[in-house]
Amino acid sequence: MLMMYRHGLRVSEAVGLRRDQVNLAQARVWVQRLKNSLSVEQPIAGDELRAIKRYLATRTDKLPWLFISERGQPFTRSAVNYLMRIAGESAGLKNVHPHVLRHSCGYYLANSGVDLRTMQDYLGHRDPKHTVHYTRVAGRRFEGLWDK
């Protein structure tokens, strides 16, 4: 879930992640975007990198997928949907689904003052009209305009 949020992954992109797409030595992940989006290499933050290393240290298999189920198979979309729903319910939230994490990533970037073009590339959008949605509600982008 952390990687889905931090990298704005769609559920299919997350379940399709392979070990060879993660470079632990350089703390980078190759995000292979789907839906005709632009793929890109992204940095992995320190806490996320440590979590990935801890997780991989528990695995003895040589399977290519980064995330596997207890049955040794890649996660399915429905399994991730189920886990998200259960996590949301235990947090007292309703209608939580994996795509909420992608939207949360977009809103976080917009509220952090990341420029539109960088957000567009990070999320893999070919057309900026899909990225603009996140900036429309970012009121903080107007702060400081007249402070000079």
53 assigned to active site: no
Which one of 6, 7, 33, 134 is the catalytic residue? Answer: 134
The two tokens of residue 23 are: 């470079």
Which one of 6, 7, 102, 122 is the catalytic residue? Answer: 102
Count CB atoms within 10 A of the CB of residue 1: 13
77 assigned to active site: no
Point out which residues pair with 28 in neighbouring strands: 23, 43
18 assigned to active site: no
7 assigned to active site: no
Q: Among candidates 30, 17, 11, which has minimal Cα distance to 63? A: 17
Which one of 18, 28, 85, 99 is the catalytic residue? Answer: 99
10 assigned to active site: yes
What is the amino acid identity at position 87?
A: A
Which one of 6, 7, 10, 33 is the catalytic residue? Answer: 10
Q: Among candidates 32, 41, 45, 34, which has minimal Cα distance to 3? A: 45
Cα-based torsion angle of the residue sequence 114, 118, 120, 124 in order, rounded to the nearest 10 degrees: -120
99 assigned to active site: yes
Q: Rounded CA gap, 148 and 138, in Å?
A: 21
Q: What residues are labeled active site?
A: 10, 35, 99, 102, 125, 134
